[in-house]
Amino acid sequence: MKELRYRRRVQFADTDLAGLVHFSWYFRYMEEAEHALWRDAGLTVASPSDTIRYPRVSATCEFRAPLRFEDEIEIEIRVAAVGSRAIRYDCVIQRGETIAARGSITVACIDTADGATPRAIDIPGRVSAALEGRA
Amino acid sequence: MKELRYRRRVQFADTDLAGLVHFSWYFRYMEEAEHALWRDAGLTVASPSDTIRYPRVSATCEFRAPLRFEDEIEIEIRVAAVGSRAIRYDCVIQRGETIAARGSITVACIDTADGATPRAIDIPGRVSAALEGRA
Amino acid sequence: MKELRYRRRVQFADTDLAGLVHFSWYFRYMEEAEHALWRDAGLTVASPSDTIRYPRVSATCEFRAPLRFEDEIEIEIRVAAVGSRAIRYDCVIQRGETIAARGSITVACIDTADGATPRAIDIPGRVSAALEGRA
Amino acid sequence: MKELRYRRRVQFADTDLAGLVHFSWYFRYMEEAEHALWRDAGLTVASPSDTIRYPRVSATCEFRAPLRFEDEIEIEIRVAAVGSRAIRYDCVIQRGETIAARGSITVACIDTADGATPRAIDIPGRVSAALEGRA
């Protein structure tokens, strides 16, 4: 299967005073799924042995149904596009059969060797190849 | 001035291992600005004396420049549209003259009196009127 | 086994610019373990059908070793004491054989029916009995 | 004045489903005050030009009164002790005249030049001197 289905439970600290998951957490759920997809492909977004990182250049989410404390949710993530300098993912967050949210995240690739001035670089070939295999 | 300019400093806990502000925080910065705009208009998004809340139905952000620990930033927020059941805001996050991000957030209105089943309702007239005055 | 061992992976958003897990997350890890213990005992700390909640009255943590992105960790939690109005938990956070932290959390019991003025109440007998069985 | 009084407002994302500030945020509030104290002393805990960082070795908090969305709070922080390898701070969090929490945080000093193995080092003399002036 090319897409990855990542499961997790809604935690207490994810909620806000409205009694629902705070919207910022949907973006973190999508990012957790992205990193699970990388691990599943034998990769990591943040190796301690290099200074390459993958910051987000855009993120969007449509919230369809509320999520609550202790809900068991599933985030389906698929690689929508792999370019030389950007990767786009599409995500669906579900609680059982209910679609809670749909979102997309686009990431770039930087070298942070010079902490003061991160430099945009091409996505390493090994990463592109592995993720294209999931597209 | 119809838009609101909300200032805050990037805190340590907003950053991640890449040394930059985590992208989920940009959405929280925009929400902080929204709530400051409501206060400036004599409103609150969460009165302890009623059960009306304003969940997000969509959120989007384009990240243009990194933000770092202790950066002083300004979030400009303006009311882009007020409908009977939704409010849309447009935001620009700046560090000095640098545009760090542009984003939009659309919120709906619910009554959470029955915690198990929040019910979509019309935005109260007092709120619509106050925010239309800022559009 | 009376204690509970809760496993989770360190997520990207848990880290800060030092490249390590931010200390506030250790407290959230302990709380996640607490809630897993309650579920294991057939309980929940936040039922949608009542207004009883369990706020913290004290929390303490000694940090022994750093945790990093993608570390697989285990939080061992045990009920140290159950009183009429307070429960104390002791926790150990480990990464493999390494003890990363030791902490304690004490919680009280409140009724939030009147949102403006939460009222301290006795811990419900059903909860005390179930947790004493784990002490 | 040797202690520092740091003011901030409780934000929506600081709250949880109990309608109160999540306890992990009290630790972040204390840390924000710590960093404001450093700035006030002409210092920063995380210079982009070096690899010295100040991780927490212990943290403790007693929660006395709940905090809510939009509360204006004040965190008073004072340097309780400066040793060669550790600094301890004592904090009081207040909302008006109400003491919401009392806490202490002890930090060490590490060099993260080798990301894989942070090394404990003495606190730089310039930092010790500046903070002893506040003790």
The predicted-structure confidence for C76-102, as pLDDT tens digits, reads as follows 999 999 999 999 999 999 999 999 999
Q: Residues in chain D with pLDDT < 50? A: none
What is residue C10's predicted lDDT score, i.e. its pLDDT? 98
Range of the domain at B32: 4-132
Alpha helices of D4-120 — where are they, by DSSP H? 23-40
Q: How far is CA D104 from CA B67, B101, D27, D129, in A?
A: 29, 36, 9, 21
For chain B, give the mean pLDDT. 95
Task: Please state at what angle helix D23-40 crosses helix C23-40, rounded to 10 degrees.
Answer: 170
The predicted-structure confidence for D11-42, as pLDDT tens digits, reads as follows 999 999 999 999 999 999 999 999 999 999 99
What is the percent of chain A where pLDDT is above 70?
Answer: 99
Check which CATH number belongs to the domain holding B42 and give it. 3.10.129.10
* Residue of chain B minimizing CA distance to D68: B48
Q: Interface pTM (ipTM) of the complex?
A: 0.96
The predicted-structure confidence for A44-57, as pLDDT tens digits, reads as follows 999 988 999 999 99
Confidence check: pLDDT of C21 > 90: yes
Query: For chain A, how many structural domains are there in total?
Result: 1
CA–CA distance, A56 with B100 (Å, rounded to integer): 12
Which of A13, A10, C131 is CA-nearest to residue D25? A13
For chain C, give the mean pLDDT. 95
CB contact under 8 A, D35 and B68: no
What is the percent of chain C where pLDDT is above 90?
Answer: 89
| Closest Cβ–Cβ partner in A28, A45, A70 for C13 | A28
pTM: predicted TM-score of the whole model, two decimal places = 0.97
CA–CA distance, A124 with D39 (Å, rounded to integer): 39
| A neighbours by CB contacts (3+ pairs under 8 Å) | B, C, D
The predicted-structure confidence for B20-44, as pLDDT tens digits, reads as follows 999 999 999 999 999 999 999 999 9
CB contact under 8 A, D12 and A19: no
Confidence check: pLDDT of B115 > 80: no
* Residue of chain B minimizing CA distance to D51: B19
Confidence check: pLDDT of A115 > 90: no
Confidence check: pLDDT of B1 > 70: no
| Per-residue tokens: B13 | 């806990």
Sheet with A110-111, edge to edge strand ranges: A52-53, A110-111, A119-120
Confidence check: pLDDT of A69 > 80: yes
